[in-house]
Amino acid sequence: MLHRFAKALVALTPFKVTRNRPNRFDAVEDFLRHLNATGYQPRIVIDGGAHLGWFARLAREAFPEAAIHMVEPQPACAPHLRKLLNGSGMFFHPVALTSERRNVRMVCDEHGDTGAYVANSADARANIDVQGDTLDNLFSARIARSDRGFLKLDLQGHELAALRGGQMLLGSLELVLTEFSFFQQLDEANVPDIVRFFDEAGFDLFDVVSISQRQRDGRAKHGDLVFVRKGSPLWLDRAWE
């Protein structure tokens, strides 16, 4: 009970608490502030895998005029995310992002304390059925390239599947922040697969904004990469200094 109360209190703050080793670096918040300082102001931000709203709150601070769309299928997370709405230009979609609109099986903690993930057919740990939907169904009709849209994905290994369901949307986005893994545990995309996918979709690797490490030996295990649309205003700044 005390643990859940503490988690609820932390969820009301912009901070993130972990029992693992600290990230080698976690510069997501600084990165968003940097984008703001450059004049980048997207009209729409999509937070795929919103969990308890940590990234959504940072995006609200960095881009106060943007519509923030939080996508999160975990039932335990829904009350936290609904509290962030309050007519503030924030929206909540209680679905799982995937490659096609269908019901999906997930492994999900009943309290929302850990990251849920879409299970494959052989995963006996799957314990919940949720509605799955695609980025295109949810957002492609809402956004134009002039909106300079920003997509963030943290889907516990399901990022490429979600991106394959967003081919039309990708054509309207300027930035994508996505999780990657140095080695696979579930169905995580590795760095070459992700870079190849975005290159074919018309994006360049723009930044690395976090790297975390496994607890037992400090080896880097996953992080967050940022991709920018080729030819966009952010991409055009290619000076060394």
pLDDT tens per residue across span 203-213 = 999 999 999 88
Give the mean pLDDT of 132-159: 94
Partners of residue 220 on adjacent β-strands: 213
Of all residues in the chain, what percent carry a pLDDT higher than 90? 61
Give the mean pLDDT of 9-25: 58
Helix H or strand E segment including 157: none
Q: Residue 15 domain-assigned?
A: no
**Tokens for 39?**
């004049």
How far apart are alpha carbons 157 and 187 in whole angstroms? 5
pLDDT tens-place string over residues 99-143: 999 988 777 776 656 667 676 666 666 678 889 999 999 999 999
Q: Residue 177 domain-assigned?
A: yes
Q: Is the pLDDT confidence value at 3 over 60?
A: no
Residue 191 confidence (pLDDT): 86
Q: Residue 127 domain-assigned?
A: yes
Q: Residue 1 domain-assigned?
A: no
Per-residue pLDDT band for 18 (boundaries 50, 70, 90) equals low
Domain around 211: 20-232
CATH of the domain at 82: 3.40.50.150
Give the mean pLDDT of 82-87: 87
Give the mean pLDDT of 45-53: 96
Residue 98 confidence (pLDDT): 92
Q: Residue 2 domain-assigned?
A: no
Residue 222 confidence (pLDDT): 85
Q: Is the pLDDT confidence value at 187 over 70?
A: no
Give the mean pLDDT of 40-46: 98
| Beta carbons within 10 angstroms of residue 168's beta carbon | 15
Which residues make Cβ contacts (< 8 Å) with residue 79, sequence separation at least 6? Answer: none
Q: Residue 5 domain-assigned?
A: no
Q: Beta strand 96-97 with 102-107: parallel, antiparallel or unpaired?
A: unpaired
Contact between residue 198 and residue 229 where contact means Cβ atoms under 8 Å apart:
no
Q: Is the pLDDT confidence value at 185 over 70?
A: no
Contact between residue 72 and residue 50 where contact means Cβ atoms under 8 Å apart:
yes
Q: Is the pLDDT confidence value at 9 over 90?
A: no
Count of the separate structural domains present in the chain: 1
Give the mean pLDDT of 61-71: 97
Average pLDDT over the chain, rounded to an integer? 87
Instruction: State pTM to two decimals.
Output: 0.86
Nearest to 115 by CA among 171, 147, 178, 158: 158
Give the mean pLDDT of 156-181: 93
Contact between residue 95 and residue 118 where contact means Cβ atoms under 8 Å apart:
no
Q: Residue 11 domain-assigned?
A: no
Q: Residue 115 domain-assigned?
A: yes
